[in-house]
Amino acid sequence: MPRPAETGPAEPQAGFVHTFLPGRVVLGAGSLDQVAGEVESLGVRRALVVATRSARDAADVVEVQLGDRFAGRIDGVTQHVPTEVAEHARAKAREVDADGIIAIGGGSAIGLAKAVALTSDVAIVAVPTTYAGSEMTPVWGETSGGSKTTGSDLRVLPRVVVYDPVLSQHLPKKVTAASVANAIAHCVEAVWTPKADPITEVTAVEGLRALATGLRQTLTEPLDLDARSNLLYGACLAGSALATAGTGLHHKLCHLLGGTYNLPHAETHAAVLPQVARVNAPAVPRSKARLQAALGTADLADGLFDLFTAADVPTSLRDLGLTEDQAGQAAKAFKPTDNPIPVTEDLVREILTRAWAGTRP
Ligand code: NAD
Residue 157 falls within a domain, yes or no?
Answer: yes
Q: Whose CA is closest to atom 38 on ligand 1?
A: 134
Question: Could you report the per-residue pLDDT of 82-141, keeping only the tens digit for each?
Answer: 999 999 999 999 999 999 999 999 999 999 999 999 999 999 999 999 999 999 999 999
3-state SS class at 77: coil
Question: End of a domain among 118, 138, 168?
Answer: 168
Determine the distance separating the centroid of ligand 1 and the alpha carbon of 30, expressed in angstroms.
21
Residue 9: inside a domain: no
Report the pocket of ligand 1 as residue ranges, CB < 6 Å: 52-54, 79-80, 105-109, 111, 129-130, 132-134, 137, 139, 141, 167-168, 170-171, 175, 179, 265-266
Same domain (yes/no): 205, 346: yes
For the CA of 53, the nearest atom of ligand 1:
11
106 C-alpha vs ligand 1 centroid, how far in Å? 3
Q: Do residue 239 and residue 285 come from a single domain? A: yes
Distance 296 CA to ligand 1 centre (A): 27
pLDDT digit string, tens, across residues 22-40: 999 999 999 999 999 999 9
196 and 338 in a common domain: yes
Residues 145 and 178 both lie in one domain: no
**343-357 residue pLDDT tens:** 999 999 999 999 999
Same domain for 60 and 186? no
pLDDT at 211: 98
Are 249 and 352 in a shared domain? yes
If one residue of 108, 244, 250 were mutated to test the ligand 1 pocket, choosing by the most ligand atoms within 8 A of its CB, it would be 108
Q: What is the CATH number of the domain that holds 98?
A: 3.40.50.1970
Does 350 lie in the same domain as 221?
yes
Q: Assess if residue 14 is contained within a domain.
A: no
Residues 225, 334, single domain; the answer is yes
Same domain, 216 and 298: yes
Ligand 1 centroid to 6 CA: how many Å? 38
For ligand 1, the distance from its centroid to the CA atom of residue 54, given in whole angstroms, is 11
Task: Give the 3-state DSSP-derived string for 229-270, with helices as H, strands as E and coil as C.
Answer: HHHHHHHHHHHHHHHHHCCCHHHHHHHHHHHHHCCCHHHHHH
pLDDT value at residue 2: 38
Q: Is the dihedral of CA 104, 234, 168, 226 positive or negative?
A: negative
Same structural domain for residues 125 and 219?
no
In a domain, 7, yes or no: no
| DSSP per residue, 315-340 | --TGGGT--HHHHHHHHHHPPP---S
Would you say residue 5 lies in a domain?
no
Boundary residue ending a domain (168, 199, 217): 168
Distance of alpha carbon 341 from alpha carbon 88, whole angstroms: 45
- Dist CA 164 CA 33 (whole Å): 9
pLDDT reported for residue 10 = 58
Counting ligand 1 atoms within 8 A of each CB, the residue from 50, 53, 75, 79 with the most, and so the one to mutate, is: 79
291: domain CATH number is 1.20.1090.10
Same domain, 225 and 248: yes
**Is residue 209 one of the residues assigned to a domain?**
yes
Q: Identify the domain containing residue 77 by its residue range.
A: 24-168
Is residue 18 one of the residues assigned to a domain?
Answer: no
Which ligand 1 atom is the nearest neighbour of the CA of 52?
A: 11
Q: Which amino acid appears at position 62 of this protein? A: V
Q: Are 265 and 148 in contact (CB under 8 A)?
A: no
Ligand 1 pocket mutation pick from 114, 130, 242 by most atoms within 8 angstroms of CB: 130
Other beta carbons within 10 angstroms of residue 243's beta carbon come to 24
What is the number of other CB atoms lying within 10 angstroms of the CB of residue 198?
18
**How do the pLDDT tens digits run along the chain, 361 residues long?**
334 444 445 567 778 999 999 999 999 999 999 999 999 999 999 999 999 999 999 999 999 999 999 999 999 899 889 999 999 999 999 999 999 999 999 999 999 999 999 999 999 999 999 999 999 999 999 988 877 899 999 999 999 999 999 999 999 999 999 999 999 999 999 999 999 999 999 999 999 999 999 999 999 999 999 999 999 999 999 999 999 999 999 999 998 998 889 898 888 999 999 999 999 999 999 999 999 999 999 999 999 999 999 999 999 999 999 999 999 999 999 998 999 999 999 999 999 999 999 999 9
Are residues 189 and 126 part of one domain? Answer: no
Q: Examine the fold and report which residue of 168, 188, 219 is the final residue of a domain before the chain moves on.
A: 168
d(CA 250, CA 263): 15
Number of domains in the chain: 2
Q: What is the C-alpha to C-alpha distance for residues 237 and 232, in angstroms, rounded to an integer?
A: 9
- Residue 15 in any domain: the answer is no
